[in-house]
Amino acid sequence: MADVVIAGSGFAGLTAAIKLKRLLRHSGHRITVVARDATFVYRPSLVLLAFGKKSLKDITFDLRTIYKRTRIHFVEAAITSINPEAQTLMTDQGPIKYDKLIVALGEKLAYDEVPGLREHGYNVCTPDGALALKDALTRYHGGPTVVGWAQNVQTGGPAFEVALELEEWMKDHKVAGSIDFVDPLPKLWAPAGPEATEFLTKVFAERHITRHGPVQIKEVKADRVILSNGEELPSVLTIITPPFRGEDAQKSLAGDNPRDWLETGKDMQSVRYPDIYVAGSAVAFEGPKQGHTAMLQAETAVYNLTQDLLETGKPHKLYDHEMSCVLDLGTGEGLFVRRSLWSQEHQEFKIGRQWPLAKAALAYTFVHTPVFKKWGLSMPK
């Protein structure tokens, strides 16, 4: 009987746990999830929390309820380090041994890489961050603003939605202000493809949002944002996604990766430690880090780990890196993009009123109903 441990319980960790339970339900192997917080946050909705369109209750649920109903052992603890030689997680509640491990710890917000960003900037990366921005909006009475993301960030969708929501908020509240948008990509939303770049450029122009890029952020002051090209943008409200890097707890697994991401093959197995798989933001793949990619990576990791554990001899499945998102344009319309980044399998670009409705339905379903049934797991009452 093996101990399979999942470190983290965001999109990747939760998906991995539920999938593993289904695949190993008759095997006798033990599944344990370790996470520092028992509350799941549906992060795509944090923008709506910041602009008062959702409450915290609307976008969260208690993981303990899910794991109790699925009979998965859950440990609420902060992971401080991982010892791969001893196959042990060190936590603030004591050590936890594993035979197989899935690392799904997400990302760390590296505020220190941009001086002044923590003190003078806001973001929608966490509930606390979104609520702080919500509070800041009550004190914003007009003037220049700067929105965007810093260097070494691998998700752009939230910043785009913040810019569009802020423009709508200014109109609704009859507040005079400007929005400068900053990002380091060679083209606006380059990973989403040329159609998305052209469309979003047009939307920004129509809404008088001025894009600056590609450029990095050198420093954030109380009244301005200083860019790497020497330009200084005046700002009384700065909303910038901080740089991402791997969580400190996984440093021992990262080798020489400069940002502490974990190297894997396309089968999501660690290139250094064969008893470890990785999914979600912790992975060292280039390109977007999203809930969608995290869940697909988790499914691949779980399938391959299960084949190893059960010694089936079946070949590993390979993950195909893709992005998928709906950008709510705030006009009743939305932009849907699904794009394979390593192949040509999916290249979808669609605009319509059905997409914001579909996005809202998915968010509600994920938070308020046992969507895990569609993954083939019966959840006893």
Contacts with 9 (C-beta within 8 Å, 6 or more apart), sequence order: 17, 33, 35, 37, 40, 63, 74, 104
Q: Does residue 313 have a pLDDT over 50?
A: yes
Q: What is the CATH number of the domain that holds 163?
A: 3.50.50.60
Are 136 and 237 part of one and the same domain? yes
303 CB burial (10 A radius; 0-12, 13-18, 19+):
buried
Are 85 and 130 part of one and the same domain? no
> What is the model's pLDDT at position 49?
98
Closest by Cα among 82, 13, 60 to 364: 60
Residue 49 covered by a domain = yes
- The predicted model gives 152-159 an average pLDDT of 92
Are 53 and 124 part of one and the same domain? no
Q: Which DSSP string do the residues of 181-203 spell out, in sequence order?
A: EE--SSSTTGGG-HHHHHHHHHH
User: Does residue 252 sit in helix, strand or coil?
Assistant: helix
Q: Does residue 379 have a pLDDT over 70?
A: no
Taking only the tens place, the pLDDT of each residue in 24-57 is: 988 889 999 999 999 999 999 999 999 999 999 9
Taking only the tens place, the pLDDT of each residue in 259-289 is: 999 999 999 999 999 999 999 999 999 999 9
For the chain, give the mean pLDDT: 94
- Give, in order, the Cα–Cα distances in Å from 369 to each of 44, 277, 348, 364: 17, 29, 28, 8
Are 204 and 259 part of one and the same domain? no
* pLDDT level of residue 370 (50, 70, 90 thresholds): low
Residue 89 covered by a domain = yes
Residue 315 domain boundaries: 3-106+247-320
> What is the model's pLDDT at position 346?
86
Are 17 and 115 part of one and the same domain? no
Are 143 and 194 part of one and the same domain? yes
For 286, the token pair is 């280039």
- The predicted model gives 319-344 an average pLDDT of 92
> What is the model's pLDDT at position 1?
87
* pLDDT level of residue 330 (50, 70, 90 thresholds): confident
Q: Are 267 and 274 a contacting pair, CB within 8 Å?
A: no
* pLDDT level of residue 378 (50, 70, 90 thresholds): very low
> What is the model's pLDDT at position 331?
84
Taking only the tens place, the pLDDT of each residue in 68-85 is: 999 999 999 999 999 999
